[in-house]
Structure 1
Amino acid sequence: MYLRLVCLLIVVSSYVQAQQSQLVIQVMDGVVPLPFVSIVFKGNSTVGGATDSNGQLIISDMPYGQYQLIASMIGFQTHRQSILLNQGAHIIQIHLQEATTSLDEVVISGTMKEISKMESAVPVDVYSPQFFRANPTPSIFESMQNVNGVRPQINCNVCNTGDIHINGLEGPYTMVLIDGMPIVSGLSTVYGLTGIPQSLIERIEIVKGPASTLYGSEAVGGLINLITKQPDNVPMVSTDIFATTWGELNTDVGVKFKLSPKVHSLLGINYFYYQNPIDNNGDNFTDITLQNRVSVFNKWTINRAQQRQFSVAARYVYEDRWGGEMQWTPEDRGGDQVYGESIYTRRWEAFGTYQLPTQEIIKYQFSTNGHHQDSYYGDLSFRAQQSILFNQLTWYKTVGNHHDVLVGAAYRYTYYNDNTTATMERSITHLPGVFVQDEISINNQNKILIGSRFDYNSIHGSIITPRLNYKWNTQDKKTVVRLSVGNGYRVANVFTEDHAALTGARDVVFTEELKPEQSWNSNLNLVKKFLTPNGTYIGVDASIFYTYFNNRIVPDYDSNPNQIIYANLDGSATSKGISSNFDISWSGGLKALIGLTVMDVTLTEEGEKVRQLLTERVSGVWSIGYTFGASLLSIDYTGNLYGPMRLPLLGEGDNRPEYSPWYSIQNIQISKKFVNGLEIYGGIKNLLNFTPPANSIARAHDPFDQQVISDQNGQVIPTAENPHALTFDPSYVYAPNQGIRGFFGLRYHVY
């Protein structure tokens, strides 16, 4: 019996071996062997590995069958090849081509037309969805925390609204675009950034420095352009769902429809839910706001002859958020007994692009949106409506071999009305403008871009914004130097942009009619990439920047503790510094993106220079990831570090620190991908459990100032109950109040 069993095992073993073959893979860069190249086989996650020092990977027991071989290595283009294995040994030789890397990604924000990042005379930072997946967040606003030189700033401890700073300049100086259209602006600056589904983003482009020459008002400090995915280039179904131990739930679902070979549609739905009041710092106020938000996005594209495309998209957002005292209920909304900040937001948008059927490249673009806000800050009602219509026509023309000309005309209509005393009647603004730029290619190494824009604001009159850019690169295009000089402007609306004007007990005072702000900016940028003999890719992107402001609008928190005084600065304001990114990828699967920004943002008035409020001098970010070979298991460690910021105190008697401490928010994530399109991930956010001190909200126990006594001039009088002469104020905030928490999620794609 045992003899029969042994004979059977020998026969089975021989049969199995007969169904296996030896596979030898040789990977080369020209004639040089490439070590540490990752080899995987689609549909078989148990077979694979990395090439040795001779550029070889030998698999001696590869089962018969047809496979999709994938060879990848940092610094080289991914190679895909179908192979059929049968009897005998198989030798496959692969020649990898050097990748263009991020230096040659396609960008549009700098020049308003598609161009490779390396060829663009305007420096543009590009971030893919993979970058943001290392630290998943429920909104675009929060995802910016790991971008160097960009910081999401929380402006209120109660309702947790905020804006995005670029190089130390506040949110109103940052224009946010969707597919190149000015969607998020004005009233939506505070609340519009939280309802944009990340699952629909193809990439995010960031321009640091004025872009008013092409994009007009608000693009003073820079712009963030959210490029949405093309419906004909996405999975049939994609989902991304994650939850945290605090009770947050975020769901993203995308579905692609194909009505004909030329007509495609993408439907995206985002739902965020958080209804778990938490007060870990013991001030009887919610640490983060409770939110119920739904966003629906639909995009259609029609592919026409000669690669012309017509696209149109629409989005609707509804959000109900509140923060306040822990005992607050909806029945307390607008009352003066229990303090709460409750904001209902309804917003719709539509935008599109149409290329005219002409020999020339003529594009018509439009966007329109309506924003309605119904909110209470304690017993203060703020109801506002804003509607914006934007139209733009651009014409591209290549003249000879050296000139690439862009000419455009734009018109923007803005309607705004609210129930504050500052807005006695509705405001309607007409803003027509024309712009022109010429991109001059002197030779393969030198390029100059000259541009100018003329706008006529129906309230403030004529505004001209010129710019000049120069680019030089080496013959091998691995080193790029850019010099930029430009002008920007902004027409301000305090109540739509500055949440501090609405919350707390301070009165808002305007000492004059606010004039448009103007800025001049210069930027010197260096991009350099290296590829070491052992396959390590190193990319360096460094910039020196300087911005000078005229007519800067600055809220004065210091002159009177009971007021916020808005006026054009009688002096100047500057933002200057240096920023650098280091992108390093090792052949073994380890990669790191490390950024550092050092800056000095100051205001000078009557010969006195002070640091700008809520602006750090030093900040750093990092994203470090490692993938374990062919297992598709990866770990990501992300974080940021911020230096001290000057904080808004309530007068000389305020006993809270004038400057914030050094602090860091760090996160870790482990994710596992499967070949069937499933990915699971989980980790911990805010590993160090950092939160601001419990006294960040002044007089949290008396939010309606019922026990505050003031003199006949409105100055608070120190009393035994209020020895520091404070009023209720939630604007002393520099970091989120949300501490350590775990998260778990899954992504699934069907192609």
Structure 2
Amino acid sequence: MKSIIISFLIFTTAIVHAQQSYLNGKVVSNGNPILANLTIKENNKTISTNLNGEYSLKTKPGIYTIIVSAVGYKNQETKLMFSNNDIRTLNFELKEDILGLDKVVVTATRGYLNRKKAPVIVTVTDAKVLEATQAVSLSEGLNFQPGLRMETNCQNCGTSEVKMNGLGGSYSQILIDSRPIFSALNSVYGLDQIPANIIKQIEVVRGGGSALYGSNAIAGTINIITKDPSENSFAIGSNLALIDGNTQDKTITFNGTVINEDYDTGIALFGMKRNRGAYDADNDGFTEITEMENTSFGLKAFTRPTNRKKITAEFNANNEYRRGGNNLHLLPFLADVTEQIESTVVSGGLTYEYLSPNKKDNYSVYASTSVSKNKNFYGGLAGNTPTEENIKESIEGFGKSKDITFVTGTQYAHKFDKFLNNTGTFTGGIEYKYNDIDDRKENPAFIPILQTTHILGIYAQQEWVINNKLRVLGGLRGDIHNLAEEFVVFNPRANILYSINKNLRWRTSYAKGFRAPQIYGEDVHAGLAAGEISRIRNADGLKSETSHSFLTSLDWTKELTNGDFSLVTELFYTKLNNAFALEQGTQTAPDSGIFEWIRSNSTGAKVYGANIELKYAPNIKWLFQAGGTLQRSLYNDKVEWSEDELDQATKRFNKTPNVYANFVATYAPTKTFQNNLSGVFTGPMYVQHLAGFIPKDKLEKSPSFFELNWKSSYRFFIDDHKHTYFEVSGGIQNIFNAYQKDFDQGVDRDVTYIYGPQRPRTFFVGLKFGI
């Protein structure tokens, strides 16, 4: 009996083995091996190639669709029929995805999805564009997408914000690797503190995103995706820029990645050291661009205990010193005007992901935190004689700020094989965010800003693939926000994607959003105007701001013989209820030196317009992309922003042009020689100009600006295998010196009266070594 059982097992094993089919081969591009993934569509089984681009997979007899994908290359799909004991060799030649048409994005649905299949339009700025435009930090790379525009807000401290579709920075949710840890305090200075060399890509979803990401995602969402460990490499670079030909801006960066042979454990390290001198455009002794020293370090590591489990850890530390005003060589309280900030930001996060054996269920648990501290000084002698009494009063300009942010949550996604007679994906989760801000000054007349925010959000969305052409997405999020009037704030969304044909896709969406009446935001900045410190307080009974956002777009792509073409056109309309507006107040107390603005609810506002994005690559040597926006941003009723000039009340949003655009053109005759031409156009806009240097408040109309930039780089390979290289680069930013010409001067200047390009004509050279 025992021998019969053994014989039966051997016979059964032989049959099973005989019913296996085998496929092997290589994945290459232009003869070079590619690290790629091969997925069998029918059972969702995925394998990866080795360092030589080789793969080997086995499956049961049948007809299967093999999808080959790799970062930076177009997907390739092949249908094969396997018979019993079939052994085949098949090599794949992948084409470069020059325009990134097959990029995988996460911001649209909180899950990995090919951007062509995403029901929500997602535009992407990748690391190549950041390098082509000589972006050192995040703030310098956000101008190159339609609907986005960077704005500098202060000559003394260099604060900046990114505006989306005509709405201010506080209307956009900024995420770091899909986590909302970019706090209100970070948003004031943080755009300069994120080094460009850590960024893999910037994903932008325009239109309301509160249904997924909660408060502040009224205008849209900007997701900063950092670089993952993908190969063993090391690079160190240096850059020297001369602002207006004389003020130095020096930067040193490094990136290092280590990953094991099985590609299941790796770590990426990065760092940046930046030292920028102060720049005075009109030689009045006061800064237009602040002095700045910045040191950043961070890492991102992952391990896969099994092929269905992944643990990711991140850590970032940033230390920055910046100072503006005059007499920078003196102690801050001995200068006439000083804004000085010494800040430290430490953040980190941990994520655990699990994929079920049938690859239909995906679970993730995450926690992230960020702690920001700064020592600051706002004030000075304001032109007064440095007597003991005046110095004692000036010293009261010192202060401290602290911001603690903590985010934790869990998310579950399930893929349905059958959902209403077709397929679909459900995504749901719970997220809790805690934020505590403590901002205070030595000046007893300055009321400390103490704000603690608790937000508990529960969200769910269902994607329904009705057929090959039509996808529908519906979602709802409920937030319990301790600063909102409602106990639960509900925000729904609805999206439709219809593929008219292989190349043309139509999308339309509706989303509701909200912004709670928090105290601290981008506009709460202790700026100096006419020798007075300004601060903002919320009006009594300030209500939450809500929005209704509508978008519709056409996305047309065409694969060419050796290149690609893409055109996206988008119409948007956002209605704001109880829109926040700033109105001029008075001094908080007689002779306090503190001037107050009041944030109140207006009768509402509306923002509407059109975005267009064009990308064209006739071949691998040429790449051209351009984007533009036509829009209007208007309050329903005029806002009395000035008590001096009531007749200048206006419906227009401050510093918001109706037209702005950008382009990047790249010519690379060889892989080693890159030439880039880029430009940013900013149309005329209305700018509030406060009295001090001028006798009365005035609403000014700025001229239009066109910044033209050029950069070339050449890479020398040191070894025959082309692994070790030395790169030289150089160029000019803002070639035509399109820069503001009418800055205020002296102690009584309005430092918020700054608009247009971030810097004047700047020359730069760079060196980079990599292995």
TM-score of the pair, normalised by structure 1: 0.79
Partner of 1:312: 313
Cα deviation digits, residues 59-114 of structure 1 (max 9, x gap): xxxxxxxx99xxxxxx98599xxxxxxxxxxxxx9977695953321000010000
| SS of residue paired to 2:751 | coil
Quick check: 1:480 aligned with 2:497? no
Aligned residue type for 1:741: T
Report the identity percentage: 23
CA-to-partner distance for each residue in 1:153-196, whole Å, 9 max, x for gaps?
A: 10102211101111111111111111111121211101112221
After superposition, the C-alpha distances for 1:104-125 in whole angstroms (9 at most, x for unaligned) are: 2100001000000011001111
Alignment match, 1:667 = 709
Deviates more, 1:358-367 or 1:255-264: 255-264
Residues 655-700 of structure 1: CA distance to partner in whole angstroms, max 9, x if unpaired? Answer: 8771110111111011112344332211011101122124x23xx3
Residue in 2 that maps onto 1:242: 239
Return closer, same or farther for 1:425/1:748 CA change in 2, 3 Å cut-off. Answer: closer
Q: Tell me how far 1:613 sits from its aligned partner.
A: 0.4
**Cα distance in 2 between the residues matched to 1:739 and 1:265:** 38
Map residues 124-203 of structure 1 onto 2, 5 A cutoff. 124-203=122-201
Between stretches 447-456 and 598-607, larger displacement belongs to 598-607
Name the SS for the 2:282 alignment partner. coil
Q: What letter is aligned with 1:243? A: L
Q: C-alpha separation between the residues in 2 aligned to 1:384 and 1:98? A: 48
Match of 1:680 among 722, 725, 728: 728
- The answer on whether the counterparts of 2:99 and 2:617 sit within 8 Å (CA) in structure 1 is no
* 2:129 counterpart of 1:112: no
Once residues 604 and 656 of structure 1 are traced to their aligned partners in structure 2, the CA distance between those partners, rounded to angstroms, is 21
Q: Does 1:389 align with 2:389?
A: no
- What's the counterpart of residue 372 of structure 1? 373
**Deviation, structure 1 residue 452:** 0.4
Q: Do the aligned partners of residues 226 and 658 (structure 1) sit closer, same or farther apart at CA in structure 2, a change above 3 Å counting?
A: same
Residues 319, 96 of structure 1: alpha-carbon distance in 2 compared, 3 angstrom cutoff? closer
Q: Tell me: CA distance 1:747–1:526, structure 2 relative to 1, closer, same or farther (3 Å).
A: farther
Matches within 5 A, 1:560-579: 564-579=596-611
Counterpart-to-counterpart distance in 2, 1:729 and 1:182: 33
2-structure distance, mates of 1:624, 1:594: 8
Cα distance in 2 for residues equivalent to 1:393 and 1:339: 48
CA distance in 1, matches of 2:516, 2:186: 15
What's the offset of the Cα at 1:473? 0.6
Deviations 1:108-148 (A, max 9, x none): 00100000001100111112101111111221011112222
Matches within 5 A, 1:200-599: 200-231=198-229, 233-245=230-242, 246-258=247-259, 261=262, 262-274=264-276, 276-325=277-326, 327-331=327-331, 333-335=332-334, 337-356=335-354, 360-379=361-380, 380-399=397-416, 400=418, 401-419=422-440, 426-460=450-484, 461-476=487-502, 478-504=503-529, 505=532, 506=534, 508=536, 510-531=538-559, 535=562, 537-557=564-584, 564-587=596-619, 589-599=621-631
C-alpha separation in 1, matches of 2:372 and 2:96: 48
State whether residues 687 and 740 of structure 1, in contact with CA within 8 Å, keep that contact through their aligned partners in structure 2.
yes
Relative distance call for 1:517 and 1:314 in structure 2 (3 A) is same
What is the Cα deviation at residue 373 of structure 1? 1.9
**Residue deviations 1:219-278, cap 9 Å, x none?**
1211111111222x044212232111231111211122357853321111111112x343
What are the Cα deviations for residues 433-479 of structure 1, in whole angstroms up to 9, with x where unaligned? Answer: 11100001100100110000001112323211110000001342x11
Gapped regions of structure 1 (runs ≥ 5): 1-38, 44-66, 69-74, 80-92, 704-727
Is contact 2:343–2:372 with CA below 8 Å preserved after alignment? Answer: yes
Greater displacement, 194-203 / 147-156 = 194-203
Amino acid at match of 2:292: Q
CA displacement, residues 608-649 of structure 1 (integer Å, 9 cap, x when unaligned): 861100001001101111112x37322111011111111012
Q: Residues 277 and 127 of structure 1: is their aligned pair in 2 closer, same or farther, counting only changes over 3 Å? A: closer
**Cα shift at 1:406:** 0.8
Q: 1:590 to 1:464 in 2, by over 3 A?
A: same
CA distance in 1, matches of 2:343, 2:539: 31
d(CA) in 2 for partners of 1:103, 1:334 = 54
2:488 is matched by which residue type in structure 1?
S
Tell me the distance in 1 between the aligned counterparts of 2:675 and 2:506.
Answer: 34
| 1:570-605 C-alpha deviation (Å, 9 max, x unpaired) | 311111000101111123722211111100011122
Contact 1:197–1:270 at 8 Å: present in 2 too? yes
CA distance in 1, matches of 2:355, 2:666: 46
Contact 1:495 1:501 in 2 (8 A): no
Shift of 1:303: 1.3
Q: Would you say the 8 A contact 2:279–2:291 is kept in 1?
A: no
8 Å CA contact 1:104–1:117 kept in 2: the answer is yes
Whether the 8 Å contact between 2:170 and 2:521 is mirrored in structure 1 is: no
Equivalent position of 1:27 in the other structure? none
Q: What amino acid is aligned across from residue 334 of structure 1 in structure 2?
A: F
State how far apart, in whole Å, the 1-side matches of 2:97 and 2:429 are: 35
SS of equivalent residue, structure 1 residue 136: coil
Runs of 4+ in 1 over 6 A off after TM superposition: 39-43, 93-96, 558-562, 606-609
Aligned partner of residue 328 in structure 1, secondary structure: coil
Q: Given residue 679 of structure 1, which amino acid in structure 2 is its aligned partner?
A: E
8 Å Cα contact 1:518-1:552 kept in structure 2:
yes
- 1:53 matched residue in structure 2: none
Alpha carbons 1:509, 1:563 under 8 Å: kept:
no
Unpaired runs of at least 5, structure 2: 1-28, 34-51, 54-71, 77-90, 381-396, 588-592, 640-648
In structure 2, how many angstroms separate the alpha carbons of the residues matched to 1:394 and 1:41?
Answer: 41
- Superposed, 1:4-153 pairs within 5 Å as 77=74, 102-153=100-151
Structure 1 residues 423 and 497: CA distance shift in structure 2, 3 A: farther
CA contact (8 A) 1:287 1:738 kept: no
* Partners of 2:581 and 2:602 within 8 A in 1: no
Q: Note the aligned Cα RMSD (angstroms).
A: 3.0
- 2:181, 2:406 within 8 Å by CA — same for their partners in 1? no
CA distance in 2, matches of 1:573, 1:589: 46
Aligned equivalents of 1:537 and 1:250: distance in 2?
35
Identify the range of structure 1 (433-442 vs 453-462) with the bigger mean alpha-carbon deviation.
Answer: 453-462
Residues of 1 paired with 2:305 and 2:608: CA distance? 47
The match for 2:737 is 689
1:620 corresponds to: 661
Question: Structure 1 residues 645, 381: CA separation in 2 closer, same or farther (over 3 Å shift)?
Answer: farther
Q: How many residues align?
A: 635
Partner SS state of residue 518, structure 1: strand
Q: Hey, what does 1:701 align to over in structure 2?
A: 746
